[in-house]
Structure 1
Amino acid sequence: MSGSSITIAAKDGGSFSAYLARPAGGAPAPAIVVIQEIFGVNAVMRGVADWLAGEGYVAIVPDLFWRIEPGIDITDQSKAEWDRAFQLFGAFDRDKGIIDIDATRAVAATLPGTNGKVGAVGYCLGGHMAYRTAAETAVDATVGYYGVGINDVLHLAPGIRKPLMLHVAEKDGFVPPEAQAKIADGLGGNPLVTIHTYLGQDHAFARIGGAHYDQASADLANRRTLDFFAAHLG
């Protein structure tokens, strides 16, 4: 596999970059859009794309903060970076973010070496956007890790017409129990939606190097994610 950068035309003018990771071998493969956390297209997100490429997928990570500032690439290792990340989180236009994710999906479906199937996976802010991607785009299968604020946009749930899997951290400091209950109630009746709860885990339990990283839970969630994509993107 190898990583490179491509440029995607925005539907409302302008363009943005995306990190692209391809699997080894020449057989047509499904594509997966990787939806960033609040730290931009950083080493963690590029690592997710490389992991998925290693599992046989064409992975593409769009720069969703480009309308605020292109090329954000920070970590979760300092207070200054956390302050900047929350500033970006507050400034991010989620409606335009969905437009950019859908533009990425359309490009991913037609990239050389792909088979036309496109999934999506997102983390944190990206987990929220993954839910919206499932509800508002033609993506074929979507996974969200510890999405924040899904309980505030459950009115979009009728738009979910393709499989969606959500990984929920039971002790998520950003998604309290009442929000988790609301999500379960709002989505539990949809047979296309699968919700996994990770007992005792806090937000970002799958972020390697993060304060709440838990390898056992991350490995379980990642295995479920790969099985899910294998079932729905094959």
Structure 2
Amino acid sequence: MIITQEVHDISTATGTMRTYLYRPDCEGQFATIIFYSEIFQQTAPIARAAAILAGHGFVVLVPEVFHELNPIGTVLAYDDIGKDKGNADKFAKRLEHHDSDTEALVDFARSLIFCSSHIGSMGVCIGGHLAYRAALNPDIQGAFCLYPTDIHSNTLPCDKGNDSLSRTGDIAAELVMIFGKQDPHVSSEGRKLVYDKLEATEAKFNWLEVNAQHAFMRDEDIRHDPALALQMYLQAVAFFQRTLK
């Protein structure tokens, strides 16, 4: 499926958020996937991931997740300077502001003639956490979360009791949680904490732990696992085809 790309600047409660849109280049209405990036924002690997999803018949929105903290269009490099800046942004932005970003993205998708009413979320790393967090929004029907960080540790700023792990029971959407066993950012104890919370709240979720390192989806990284990444794309497409009918 041939796709087309657009750039939109969306108004949010905390300022203008640049959002990159990928969609099938044909007539019709398509379900939407909000795709949350790593701390580096929309790098080339993230753009390629969004294009892959769009090529399977989805409208894909890639927001700049730290739009309040950077000039519009900022892309951080995959180096120590970029990592330090991205991590500083991660700990500076409140989860409540990510929530209002998700509300703005849902409203934006609903305003587009080529978007159906069905919306899901997906992300990698901090974006995996944001995809999980987005599922607190009742308009999100499914969330595909790849090696999500900081859910287990409650290290991101937010109001007391509003951290994502504590709010797990408020998620109605179906979740897919995927972790790398060799990922140092989420230990086996951390994964167990998230799993037990999902079980305790009777969440509707699928759980998969794979033999992979952090960032195994990133196709410009020595940790990239191409075969495993392909499996994840196929699983994500099947998941969203089912949940976003």
Quickly name the TM-score band, shorter chain normalised. over 0.9
The offset of 1:13, in angstroms, is 5.4
Matched, 1:209 2:220: yes
Matched, 1:230 2:241: yes
- Map 1:160-199; keep pairs closer than 5 Å: 160-188=171-199, 190=202, 192-198=204-210
The offset of 1:94, in angstroms, is 2.1
Secondary structure, aligned partner of 2:69: coil
Alignment length (residue pairs): 231
Percentage of identical aligned residues: 25
Residue 128 of structure 1 aligns with an amino acid whose one-letter code is H
Secondary structure, aligned partner of 1:8: strand
The two structures have a TM-score, normalised by structure 2, of: 0.89
Secondary structure, aligned partner of 2:207: strand
Residue range with higher mean Cα deviation, 23-32 or 78-87: 78-87
The two structures have a TM-score, normalised by structure 1, of: 0.93
Residue 5 of structure 2 aligns with an amino acid whose one-letter code is G
Cα separation, partners in 2 of 1:113 and 1:41, compared to 1, 3 Å: same
Secondary structure, aligned partner of 2:91: helix
Residue 30 of structure 2 aligns with an amino acid whose one-letter code is A
- Map 1:15-34; keep pairs closer than 5 Å: 15-34=16-35
Distance in 1 separating the partners of 2:125 and 2:237: 19
Q: What is the root-mean-square deviation in Å for CA atoms of aligned residues?
A: 1.6
The offset of 1:116, in angstroms, is 1.1
Distance in 2 separating the partners of 1:191 and 1:148: 19
Structure 1 residues 123-164: Cα deviation after superposition (integer angstroms, max 9, x where no partner): 101111111111244211111110002223321111111111
Matched, 1:120 2:121: yes
Matched, 1:218 2:229: yes
Distance in 1 separating the partners of 2:121 and 2:240: 9
Who is 2:5 aligned against? 3
Residue range with higher mean Cα deviation, 175-184 or 214-223: 214-223
- Map 1:64-75; keep pairs closer than 5 Å: 64-70=65-71, 71-75=73-77
Residue 41 of structure 2 aligns with an amino acid whose one-letter code is G
Instruction: Answer 1 or 2: which has greater helix percent.
Output: 1
Who is 1:89 aligned against? 90
Structure 1 residues 161-200: Cα deviation after superposition (integer angstroms, max 9, x where no partner): 11111111111110011001111111135351111111x2
Secondary structure, aligned partner of 2:38: coil
Who is 1:102 aligned against? 103
Q: Is the 8 A contact 2:10 2:104 kept in 1?
A: yes
Secondary structure, aligned partner of 1:17: strand
Distance in 2 separating the partners of 1:31 and 1:41: 18
Q: Is the 8 A contact 2:14 2:97 kept in 1?
A: no
Unaligned runs of 5+ in 1: none
Distance in 2 separating the partners of 1:13 and 1:215: 37
Structure 1 residues 94-146: Cα deviation after superposition (integer angstroms, max 9, x where no partner): 22012102211221123121111111111101111111111244211111110
Q: Is the 8 A contact 1:31 1:109 kept in 2?
A: no
Secondary structure, aligned partner of 1:33: strand
